[in-house]
């Protein structure tokens, strides 16, 4: 099959959507499909993946990229054009980042109540949000397009904000490379990384990997860590990712947990930190289906996340981890984390977490999406007949 994958940057270092797209593209190529990478640029690490790079020459705006990507895709005569959220032309749309309007509303919950109406008003006029709307209107305006929802939450958002009929939506949860993210792959890092982080014997290390600290709930985790410390529990936390860490370090000082929390900044490979951690925590305000949660589960880590994470739909509370209702409520988060200080219970959750991840491996993810591709090709054949 001749497949076009559209994403602005074909580079796994840029974020979850890009990492998933690159992994997926590699697997498609290994299965013998002809994969065209339609993007502004492609990472050097993808040069050996067996892809055909189709450069998109466009200005910096989202509209300019979407316009140029459409022109590239149209001239290629592909069997399937699969857009990962950055364009507006194709047979299938998989919006990894979610629905912009839903994300905007969820992020407003981070702001003080008095500020929210002003933010909504500003969004009507700011060029950035007007571009989002222009692209979104085109993305969700084709009655023949198939929409891949990577969670029930995302499917609901599609119907709520863009009136997408259920008949056009296919539910396919994200998949993860369960060989790369596996307990035996990370175990070798445990002692050396915990020593580097100065984690003492008996301390329970909580991990979060994030770029946007506020949306991912880092402030809530920090306040919850302070609560657990005040209760006398042997808690430590490590925050991987983010930029401009100095203000966050000052917040640690204000909370009195500077010696309990390590801010790492960007890393190319998070696996050593999964190896060091005892649990993964993501009290996110909005995540359609977090890949880092699936990575953590695959590494055998219990996960505590929020109900606004589509990946949380896969977790049975008390079996692989716990779900919090309010990502801003540090008391609720601290309560959910407390059972994880029991080593035996933590081990039981971790074993179940690994099994859950195996049920959502990249191989299954790929098969389910290829089945949708087959549906698209068959539909086109019927229309042409």
pLDDT of residue 159: 97
Mean pLDDT of the residues in the chain: 95
Structure tokens at 299: 């590494």
How much is the pLDDT for 52? 97
Residue 13: pLDDT band (50, 70, 90) is: confident
**Whole-angstrom distance, CA of residue 317 vs CA of residue 311:** 13
Predicted confidence at residue 372, as pLDDT, reads 98
pLDDT band at 193 (very low <50, low <70, confident <90, very high): very high
Q: Is the pLDDT of residue 381 over 90?
A: no
The encoded tokens of residue 170 equal: 């296919």
In this prediction, residue 127 carries a pLDDT of: 87
| Res 261: pLDDT | 97
pLDDT of residue 8: 97
Instruction: Supply the pLDDT for residue 1.
Output: 95
Angstrom distance (rounded) from CA 328 to CA 150 = 24
117-176 pLDDT, tens digit per residue, is 888 888 888 888 889 999 999 999 899 999 999 999 999 999 999 999 999 999 999 999
Residue 10 pLDDT level (bands cut at 50, 70, 90): very high
pLDDT at 66 over 90: yes
Query: Positive or negative, the Cα torsion across 105, 108, 113, 114?
Result: negative
Q: Are 153 and 161 in contact (CB under 8 A)?
A: no
384 pLDDT exceeds 80? no
Tens-place pLDDT, residues 276-289: 999 999 999 999 99
Per-residue pLDDT, 265: 93
The answer on pLDDT for 20 being more than 80 is: yes
What pTM was computed for the model?
A: 0.94
Please give the share of the chain, as a percent, with pLDDT higher than 70.
Answer: 100
353: three-class secondary structure by DSSP: helix
| pLDDT recorded at residue 73 | 97
Write the pLDDT tens digit of every residue in 22-61: 999 999 999 999 999 999 999 999 989 999 999 999 999 9
The whole-angstrom distance between residue 129's C-alpha and the CA centroid of its chain comes to: 21
- pLDDT at 385 exceeding the cut of 80: no
Specify the DSSP element, H or E, that contains 121. Answer: helix 116-123
Residues 312-327 pLDDT 10s: 999 999 999 999 999 9
Q: At 248, phi and psi to the nearest 5?
A: -70, -35
Cα–Cα distance for residue pair 355/282, rounded to 1 Å? 20
Per mean pLDDT, which range of 132-136, 192-196, 355-359 is the poorest? 132-136
Q: Distance between CA 122 and CA 236 in Å, rounded?
A: 40
Percent of the chain with pLDDT over 90: 90
pLDDT at 218: 97
Output the pLDDT for position 382: 80
Taking only the tens place, the pLDDT of each residue in 73-117 is 999 999 999 999 999 999 999 999 999 999 999 999 999 999 988
- The pLDDT score that the predictor gives to residue 125 is 84
């Amino acid at each position: 099959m001749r497949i076009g994958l559209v994403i602005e940057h074909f580079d796994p270092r840029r974020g979850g959507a890009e990492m998933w797209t690159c992994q997926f593209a590699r697997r498609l190529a290994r299965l013998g499909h002809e994969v065209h990478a339609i993007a502004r640029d492609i990472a050097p690490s993808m040069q050996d993946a067996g892809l055909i790079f189709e450069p998109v020459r466009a200005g910096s705006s989202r509209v300019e990229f979407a316009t140029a990507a459409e022109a590239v895709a149209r001239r290629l005569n592909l069997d399937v054009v699969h857009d990962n959220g950055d364009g507006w032309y194709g047979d299938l749309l998989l919006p990894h980042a979610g629905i912009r309007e839903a994300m905007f509303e969820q992020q407003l919950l981070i702001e003080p109540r008095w500020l929210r109406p002003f933010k909504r008003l500003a969004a009507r006029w700011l060029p950035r949000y007007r571009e989002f709307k222009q692209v979104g209107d085109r993305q969700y305006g084709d009655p023949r397009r198939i929409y891949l929802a990577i969670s029930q939450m995302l499917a609901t958002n599609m119907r709520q904000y863009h009136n997408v009929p259920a008949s056009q939506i296919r539910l396919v949860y994200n998949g993860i490379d369960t060989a790369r993210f596996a307990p035996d792959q990370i175990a070798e890092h445990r002692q050396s990384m915990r020593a580097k982080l100065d984690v003492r014997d008996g301390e329970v290390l909580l991990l979060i990997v994030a770029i946007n600290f506020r949306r991912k709930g880092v402030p809530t985790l920090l306040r919850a860590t302070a609560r657990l410390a005040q209760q006398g529990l042997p808690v430590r936390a490590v925050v991987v990712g983010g930029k401009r860490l100095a203000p966050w370090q000052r917040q640690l000082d204000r909370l009195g947990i500077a010696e309990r929390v390590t801010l790492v900044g960007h890393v190319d490979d998070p696996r050593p930190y999964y190896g060091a951690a005892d649990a993964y925590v993501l009290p996110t305000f909005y995540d359609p289906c977090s890949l880092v949660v699936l990575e953590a589960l695959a590494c055998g880590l219990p996960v505590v996340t929020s109900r606004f994470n589509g990946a949380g739909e896969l977790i049975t509370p008390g079996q692989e981890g716990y779900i919090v209702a309010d990502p801003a409520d540090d008391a609720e988060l601290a309560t959910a984390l407390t059972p994880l200080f029991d080593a035996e219970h933590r081990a039981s959750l971790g074993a179940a977490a690994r099994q859950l991840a195996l049920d959502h491996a990249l191989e299954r993810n790929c098969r389910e999406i290829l089945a949708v591709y087959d549906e698209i090709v068959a539909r086109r054949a019927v229309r042409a007949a």
